[in-house]
Structure 1
Amino acid sequence: MKVRIGIVGCGVVGTGTVKLLLENAHIIKKKTGIDILLTKVADKDWERPREIEVPLNLRTYDYMDVINESDIVVELVGGKTFAKSLILEALERGKHVVTANKRLLAEDGFEIFKKAKEKGLYIGFEASVGGGIPIVKALREGLVANRINTIYGILNGTTNYILTRMLEDHMDFSHALELAQKLGYAEADPSLDIDGWDSAHKICILSMIAFGRYVPFEDVYVEGIRDLDLLDVELGKELGYTLKLLAISKRTDGEIEVRVHPTFIRSEDALAKVSDVYNAIMIEGDFVGKTMFYGKGAGSYPTASSVVSDIVDIAKKVLFCSKDHDEFQWENQPIGIGKNFYSRYYIRFDVPDKPGVLAGVSRVLADYNISIASVLQKEKVCKLARREGEATVPLVILTHKAYEKNMQRAIEDIKKLPIIVGQPVIIRVEEEAY
């Protein structure tokens, strides 16, 4: 069977995909019997240097050439406006689509998947989450017999690299970010990564697959690492925790929580040991238990591998005339998104070095049914904070589990106390066995 493939966007991932298809098409044919023919590659700039020289007969500036001469259109331009128009146009003209566009699927997936269903077409999106990690296929196929209960993910390599440098090399955030940019791990404008939006797009997509319902992106709780202090990373280490930007999706009382934020996890846990630019996703199903997927979450070749995996999957479905179940059930109401998280908390206050301070804070916490699990010794905190001789000292508290709403109300009341200087630092602590 011969399948014609066209690609729109020949940047980092597009170049890797072209290279893979040109070099390994014979391997794919040998393994699957499918003859993949790359017909057109569209890009707006063919003068910029690339790792490979795309053959002249494949190049075009017009994306319509790709749509007209392909059975499967691969969208690798990113962004929302043009990418969305391209995908909808391809679907309207009866073309299957493969995309790595996590933002588009998370924010406008409802419209896109509805259009594909109406046309009886397939959309492949393995490359939208986890780069070369086959996490979408695992959820859709390998774990299909399970009721998924939780997903914990380190889904952004840039932030994981920054946090690794802060933890292991005692770098502050700005220097770790600068190093990440120098090495090409962070963009000149790193906002999507460090503010948590990239991870939020990915956990939104995974949640929709895992729970089989539409998850409005605006209901995902997002908090990034831009304002993290090296002191808190090091204090967490003293308490036996490692700080990660964690993407969390879990069932809770008929709803699901979908959130991204800096999170302390136990240093002995597997996810805590995922360092540098690597990604990892821990999934718990009711029958399979806990499984972990690990690998490079971005990059030209790993992501290209996922793109081509989708191409082959769609080609097989077309060959065998299969009809996929509508896994997202778009016609139903969106699933309820819980916002009142139940978690432990790490809190750091700047307070005067005098008696009675802890008592004042603990009284307010008690008013909101929040109990203190431990207080880090002042001497140890001051040594790490290097604040000898200053008028204020850090007061570090670790709580037992409490509800998010109670914690936020308690913090607002504590901030009104005359003993509190500046803004408190609050970091959630997850202690599930992962």
Structure 2
Amino acid sequence: MSITQASSKLRVALLGCGVVGTQVVRILVEHSDELAARVGARLELVGIAVRDTQTPRESVVPQNLLTEDAETLVENADIVVEVMGGIEPARSLIVRALGAGATVITANKALLAQDGPALYEAADAAGVDLSFEAAVAGAIPIIRPIRDSLAGDKVTRVLGIVNGTTNYVLDQMTKHGLGFDEAVKDAQALGYAEADPTADVEGHDAAAKAAILASLAFHTRVALKDVSCEGITHVTADDVAWAQRSGHVIKLLAMCEQSDDGVVARVYPALVPHEHPLANVGDAFNAVFVEAENAGPLMFYGQGAGGAPTASAVMGDLVSAARNRLTGAKSAGESTYADLPVLDAGQTDTRYQIRLSVADKPGVLAAIAEVFAEQGVSIETVTQALRDDHEGYASLVVTTHQGKEAALAQTVETISRLDVIEEIMSVLRVEGS
């Protein structure tokens, strides 16, 4: 369906009325006149699809607009806003809405990372927009800058903190010496972490966002299954303390890179030097670095989660999409012209900091150095300290030069089998230095 400039209103359907959905309703209600002036037509909220219309909600949510019939709602809307999350029924409802000619706005990173190509194709076939600024980094505008502002440049790298929960947990471990479990409970008490924090602490949420960012930045389809993912559940208070001693903090990073061989997307906890801007990103904030050939390094920083910040990104998409419907325009769709190979993480370059518990006797360093040499991995620094808690053993911290991930991983595996090694205490990658 098309809308002409003479139209007085655009019908907006909302799928989901949780924390984000409630804030979207609030903005639509409280700023209706101003939004109408910006768009050129009134944004009329015609229905809010929920699982149970009898669930108590905030007073700003009009009870008479609640419905459990999401299918009928999306078929009679000009614009559908999906903030219900999950794969189903969100996927089926979005496909139904696109098929009915509705513009769709979604904050659903998991769905986009899993089924984005099919949704893009459905939007293209219908000639409507599919917008998703809110799917990555909350209020931070990152999708449009990569897709539109840098469309004439070549993006080579995207690196950043894209999960507020894990950033808060690691920040509390760093600032207050909390253990992992204690920091997670603190995050849950403040509403930063879900009752089941698995998607955050295991890195799955960040991996979905990395897939979206890599696909946009490198004009290549990168699916969630293509993203190498490692969470923070193994990071200990001792790891954080050692990071501080070596001039670093630990951050969960999403890293997307393009090389001559292809593209790679990864999520992992890494050591970031104190002087690097990402080291100072605290609490539940997000920050993303984008590196482009001509623009150089760009940094985007702000609130990466929460009802109001995420609703801000949703509303930005909503205003843009509404303007497009009035003028008959369409935003840029999926760009996959590059179709680059998606590389295995083992083919990428990285640096390791390996912390070992070793026997305090002659020949230990020589045995370890021999393994590094056999694998073609160069050692940058070695730091040794006697262990007060374990007589006859020492802590050894080895930082490598850049090498292939596969060679570094094999080095760690081989070292672990040496008789002089009591324990591999931690292995962390080093970024930003």
Does structure 1 residue 357 correspond to structure 2 residue 364?
Answer: yes
| Alignment match, 1:418 | 419
1:118 to 117, 125, 133: 125
SS at match of 2:34: helix
Q: 1:333/1:152 Cα in 2 relative to 1: closer, same or farther (>3 Å)?
A: closer
In structure 1, what is the Cα distance between the partners aligned to 2:11 and 2:251?
42
| Alignment match, 1:192 | 199
In structure 1, what is the Cα distance between the partners aligned to 2:281 and 2:110?
24
C-alpha contact 2:120 2:333 (8 A) present in aligned 1:
no
2:350 to 333, 343, 355: 343
State the identity %. Answer: 39
SS at match of 1:378: strand
- Which amino acid is 2:72 matched to? D
Does structure 1 residue 232 correspond to structure 2 residue 239?
Answer: yes
What is the CA distance between 1:33 and its match in structure 2? 2.1
1:318 to 305, 319, 325: 325
What is the CA distance between 1:147 and its match in structure 2? 0.7
C-alpha contact 2:379 2:399 (8 A) present in aligned 1:
yes
Structure 1 alignment gaps of length 5 or more: none
| Alignment match, 2:4 | none
Q: Deviations over 1:99-137 (max 9, x none)?
A: 100000001111111111122121110110111111111
In structure 1, what is the Cα distance between the partners aligned to 2:362 and 2:191?
49
What is the CA distance between 1:391 and its match in structure 2? 5.2
In structure 1, what is the Cα distance between the partners aligned to 2:358 and 2:105?
54
Q: Deviations over 1:248-286 (max 9, x none)?
A: 011122311210000111111111100010001111111
- Count of residue pairs the alignment pairs up: 425
What is the CA distance between 1:389 and its match in structure 2? 4.0
TM-score normalised according to structure 2 size: 0.94
| Alignment match, 2:106 | 99
In structure 1, what is the Cα distance between the partners aligned to 2:152 and 2:249?
33
- Which amino acid is 1:12 matched to? V
Q: 1:252/1:74 Cα in 2 relative to 1: closer, same or farther (>3 Å)?
A: same
Does structure 1 residue 223 correspond to structure 2 residue 234?
Answer: no
In structure 1, what is the Cα distance between the partners aligned to 2:165 and 2:419?
39
Q: Deviations over 1:56-78 (max 9, x none)?
A: 32111110232133111111111
C-alpha contact 1:15 1:52 (8 A) present in aligned 2:
no
Q: Once superposed, what is the RMSD of the aligned Cα atoms? A: 1.7
Alignment map for 1:45-60 (pairs within 5 Å): 45-60=52-67
In structure 2, what is the Cα distance between the partners aligned to 1:107 and 1:346?
33
C-alpha contact 1:214 1:335 (8 A) present in aligned 2:
no
In structure 1, what is the Cα distance between the partners aligned to 2:25 and 2:365?
62
What is the CA distance between 1:51 and its match in structure 2? 3.3
1:249 to 235, 248, 256: 256
Q: 1:371/1:406 Cα in 2 relative to 1: closer, same or farther (>3 Å)?
A: same
SS at match of 1:74: strand
What is the CA distance between 1:18 and its match in structure 2? 0.7
Structure 2 alignment gaps of length 5 or more: 1-6
Does structure 1 residue 78 correspond to structure 2 residue 77?
Answer: no
| Alignment match, 2:51 | 44
SS at match of 1:121: coil
Alignment map for 1:21-40 (pairs within 5 Å): 21-40=28-47
In structure 1, what is the Cα distance between the partners aligned to 2:261 and 2:375?
25
- Which amino acid is 1:399 matched to? T
Q: 1:56/1:184 Cα in 2 relative to 1: closer, same or farther (>3 Å)?
A: closer
1:168 to 175, 189, 192: 175
C-alpha contact 1:252 1:338 (8 A) present in aligned 2:
no
| Alignment match, 1:17 | 24
